A and B are shown apart, each in its own frame.
Chain A
Amino acid sequence: MRFLREWLLRLFPGRADSDLESEMRFHLEMETEAQQRTGLSPEEAGRQAVLRTTTVASAIEHTRDQRTFPWLSGTLADLRQACVGLRRQPGFLAIAATVLTIAIGANTLIFSVVNGVLLKPMPYRDPERLVNIYEWSERNPKFPLSMLNYLEDRRQSKTLESIALYTGGEMELMHGDRPERLPAVRITHDFFPTLGVQPILGRNFDESELKGSARVVILGHKMWASRFQSDPSSVGQTIRLNRENWTVIGVMPPGFQHPGGSYRSPLQGETVDLWCPLGMDLPEKGLRYWHFTNAIARLKPGIPLTAASQDLNLVMDDLNRRFPDAYEKKRARVEPLAAEVVGKSSWTVQLIMAAGFLVLIVACINIAGLCVARVIARRSELAIRQALGAGRWRLIRTVLAENMVLGILGGVAGLVLAAVAIPVLRTVLPANFPRIHEIRMDAMAGAFAVVAAVLTSLFAGIIPAFRQTMSGPGEGLSSTRVTLPGHGIRSLRGALVVAEVALACVLCFGAALLVRSGMELSARDHGFQPANILSFQIQFPRKTYNSGKSIIAFSNEVLRRWREVPGVVAVGGGSTVPWTGYNDNTSFDIPGRPAKPGESIQARFQRATPGYFEALRWPLRSGRLFDDRDRDDSKPVVVVNDVLVRRYFDGADPVGREINFFGKPRRIVGVVADVRDLPADDIAEPAVWMPFAQEADGGMSVVVRTASDPIATVPRLREALASLDRELPMSELRSLDLVAAAALAERRFALLALQSFAGLGLLLAAIGIYGLLTYIVQQRRKEIGIRIALGASGEALLWMVTGSGLRLALAGVVSGILMAPLAGRAMKAMLFGVSAADSITLIAAPLVMLAAALIASAVPGWVAARSQPMTALRDQ
């Protein structure tokens, strides 16, 4: 306390003691001289002077008291006393501080997530002016922008400062003698200026370099540092990418973050190693029809989203007039970049924020219950203070000082707890969670911890403080010998416990809803079986595999060799692996079935080799799967899925019918089951597969079904690939279980968070009940002793105490059930297959709460039942 006082004095400087002392010494000298003038000897004059004006030391002492602000010294005294008082009550201090620490730790952790993911501005110049732009249509509300749209937006719009296109991919870097695949993004020349950055070395792309044939590249800073040892002469050098020579023309600054994108883009963050120019030299139709680029734009200062959207829709109207085939029924859609980056994860963040806040309230109520008991223990002390003339405010301040000290302790401890937990949290969060790199302990989170802790603690103390100081001193003094606390106090603590139980019940309900969603989800028919499947990517560099024929020949051969690897059950290749969110659409037409008004006939387009569906155990509904008969010189065929049949063929078996797909009439030979883009999606989208041999592509996702552990076969598979092409890497190697886990990771994280919070709420509520009952048993020792002496059975006493606890719990649970559907509705976006007021959950969650309450009230009941009447009676 002394230290605190000194520190505060330094904050509010008065005058230094030495300064005061010399002033007073002068005063004393003047007085001494005056005395001497009356004829006294110098010694006598000095003595008289001191008599008349006191000593310097004593005067300084008096003056110093004047120096600090009176309220400050009063508060300091209160705090000092609070420290002493708390030290004498280690039990109260330990429980209250622990409860506060855990609640604040959890909430600080959540705050660091909220701050990093939602609040912190994106690391670009004026980030609030950055937007993503899409083409909107009924079926595809967020369609990638066509290049013509970009060009026209750039030419005509009046609200955009600049607009740029970008699309992600991977490139194969040959550095030394090992090939590796690096994340790359193709961009237009205005991409970096739109974000407000430029290379720290070299230059940006030129508009004239936006060609498929351009071989210039800008390096990401991390990659430049790790592979080129930050050598400035890298700029101008030639590197091997996709087996061709590319010239490095620039290096991006350290810490530059890719903005992310919803369409084939690495995540937001320092996730990109290579930037190359986006080829704009497409065939004329491609400019309108091909949609594969994200668009980012910077609004002019002061332009609201609605104005930008209106402006871009004027451009869209113009495109509509000129090219109705490509732009009919399309609108421009403008979304703020920050919201796009966070996406659906903001639901998760908000859910855990709400749950964390509930835990904080429960903790606050819990501490309030403890404070009521603490204030009652101090009743006589407070009454004496009041009798001696302390005002009401002074009393409240005295009581709250303990809460202040408690709050500071809890805040600092909670801050430490959160700081330790943040690295752990990062490992628990799904790897693709937005802005994970921004989640850290910083000054904001630290300030949050301490402020939240102090406020929580003060709130907890305020009701008991007011309650106690409302009465006159007489009550407190006269009741010091009465062991039974007033009815009012008990009902106040009871009400607090009821509230705690109700909130904990709501938390349990929320967690149980997510558990039920998870169960529904895993019980769902996913359309294929993910166990024991290995998946990986291979890309065929254009330099070596320059024609469809060479790709097909190679892939046929490598698939054949893989099939012969021991342990492999089935192998196939396709455009994608299920549950990775693949959503490339194309429109097509069905002869004899014109599109209905407002309908656009579209489907996901994919390729598959023979063995692909078999490896995934993807059920065939009718017709056949692809086999070796489907070659580039045979009749073009396709396989479609169930939902396509339902949507466009009214459910009639389409096998044998033809559709015009990808520029050719193709015959439908089979129908397979529906698989959703992501496991928790509501519905599957129509999809069409073409045989890889008839429509070769530059890359392939390979799926390998194995008899046992899929990872064990990797070396043999790699050997087989190397025997054909030593330089070709296998990338994104993982088991399909892992793909499925990744697709569900965020849901799992939300469940884990909510379960922890529900557990915490349950524990706090149980502690609240236990604390109250223990307190009552303690207070009623004498009465209980008399009851036992008079022959009350232990069982009866057990029920008396336990019953009173259960009654409170029951009241809390009933209020909890009333609030639960509200909570359920708030988390609707996270639910799957259960309603917001799911009846099973509505019964199960309160039962769990009641079970906890039973245990918490049985322990004090048991203590009461076993108490010895003589000890109880003698104790007083």
Chain B
Amino acid sequence: MANKDSRPAILQGTLDLMVLQTLASMGAQHGYSIAARIEQASGSALELNMGTLYPALMRLEQRGFVKGKWGVTENNRKARFYSLTAAGSKQLEREKAGWEQTAGTIQRLLTEEFS
């Protein structure tokens, strides 16, 4: 997980959440646009290389949360599009809730420490 630059490391498990959320909000996307979207949303703080992104996509696909399908981009190029499955939507809800709880806990911890 160590990153060469001083960019923040991706917290284990959060990448799945990010991918699922991206697909939920933007519909079916190919790998590059998922990476581009996450990078954009993080204000270029997160750069996903393929060695991180594709294992995550395969993991999600094996667990049945996303489904990959070859299709054609608007520029008429072949690309593999990922979409959220029903199980994926449920998983997203669960992970979101989990994340909010974690984030809330950490938030409280941090604020208490400073107050």
Residues of A within 8 A of B (CB): 14-15, 20, 22-24, 26-28, 30-31, 34, 52-54, 56, 58-59, 61-63, 65-67
Contacts and interface: CB of A to CB of B under 8 A. Distances in A.
Contacts of A22: 78
B32 A66 contact: no
Contacts of A27: 30-32, 35, 50
A14 B54 contact: no
17 contacts: A20-B54, A22-B78, A23-B79, A26-B31, A26-B77, A27-B31, A27-B50, A30-B32, A34-B36, A53-B49, A54-B49, A54-B50, A59-B49, A59-B51, A63-B54, A66-B55, A67-B58
Contact of A58 (B51, B79, B80): B51
Contacts of A53: 35, 48-50
Contacts of A14: 58, 62
B55 A26 contact: no
Interface in B25-67: 30-32, 35-36, 47-52, 54-55, 58-59, 62
Interface residues of B, number: 20
A15 B50 contact: no
A62 B79 contact: no
B94 to A, nearest CB: 21
A26 B58 contact: no
A868 B51 CA distance: 63
A519 to B, nearest CB: 69
A26 B78 CA distance: 8
A63 B80 contact: no
A113 B19 CA distance: 60
A24 B52 CA distance: 12
A30 B55 CA distance: 19
B58 to A, nearest CB: 5
Contacts of B59: 66
Nearest to B80: A23
Contacts of B35: 27, 53
Instruction: Give the 9 A-B residue pairs with the shortest CB-CB distance, closest first.
Output: A59-B50, A66-B55, A62-B51, A30-B32, A63-B54, A59-B51, A54-B49, A23-B80, A27-B32
A63 B30 contact: no
Of A22, A61, A63, A67, which is in contact with the most chain B CB atoms at under 10 Å from its CB?
A63
Contacts of B32: 26-27, 30-31
B104 to A, nearest CB: 31
A24 B50 contact: yes
Contacts of B55: 62-63, 65-66
Contacts of A23: 30-31, 54, 79-80
Contacts of A20: 54
A23 B32 CA distance: 9
Nearest to A65: B55
A61 B48 CA distance: 16
A22 B58 CA distance: 15
Given A52-B47, A62-B54, 12 more contacts: A14-B62, A15-B58, A22-B78, A23-B30, A26-B31, A27-B31, A27-B50, A59-B51, A59-B54, A62-B52, A62-B55, A67-B62
Contacts of A30: 32
Interface string B58-101: 11001000000000000001111000000000000000000000
Contact of B49 (A15, A52, A61): A52
A27 B49 CA distance: 10
Contacts of A31: 32
